[in-house]
Amino acid sequence: VSTCCACVFWNSASRTMAGTWLAWTTVMAVSVSAYPTTDSAIEYCRDMQPQRSLDLEQLMGLWHTVEIIQHRDEQRFRGVQETDTCPMVHLAKTGSNDLKMLWHEPAGHVEYRFRITDPGNPGFWLSWGPQNGSMLTKPYQQFAGTVQVMKAVQTHMVLTFCSPNQSHYSIILARYNHLSSTEIRGVRNLLGRRGLPQIGVRETCKDSAPLAGPTAVLVLLSALTVVFSRNY
């Protein structure tokens, strides 16, 4: 039974890139080994020092999931995997401190709801109520835990999901369907400094041509918004 839509996506058909994994672990051994890599953060969802200076309005709208990094040490997550699929995420405010997030991929969609309980810490979100969506017709276990905004800038954002003793992973989101290797390396180093072990990486949107401009993004955003409003 999967604990989240990202885990369902992780377990779908993929190509394991053994050569890439060996090259990547050589590089990451230098940048991550200096940081603690215990599983203590998985046993309970501790404060991972999310970004406190946030303009929530700037986070709303459409994002592309360009990478999923697993922090929970399980055999099925180890290694580097690539896929052409490019999951979409749409964020919207439903109140002063309430958010909803729609995850959409070819297998279906899931809607999450979150609440910001401390306005002084807007990067720390609590799951609020059960998930909805077409992916619940598949084996699915409801996510109950926290999401922390580890980084949010104009071009990309990093969300770390944690459900005690069930799941712990981060997703790298980009406004377009591509992020430079320098930016991705910076995210991985940031997670390492927060003591998050990087057990496995799921690289997405690998064969997707970079979107030419905002017009394509607006078309995709409109389609997702229609799905959002019709179903909920």
Please give the Cα distance from 96 to 7 (Å, whole number).
Answer: 30
pLDDT value for 115: 97
Q: Which residues of 37-69 are buried (b: 16+ CB within 10 A; e: fewer)?
A: beeebbeebeebebbeebebeebebbbbbbbbb
From the CA atom positions of the chain, what is the Rg in Å? 17
Structure confidence at residue 227 (pLDDT) = 52
Question: Considering Cα of 85, then 203, then 65, then 230, what sign does the dihedral take?
Answer: positive
pLDDT higher for 37 or 160? 160
Q: Please tell me the pTM assigned to this model.
A: 0.77
**pLDDT tier at 78, thresholds 50, 70, 90:** confident
At 20 the pLDDT is: 30
Residue 7 pLDDT class (50, 70, 90 cuts): low
Domain 56-203: CATH superfamily is Calycin beta-barrel core domain (2.40.128.20)
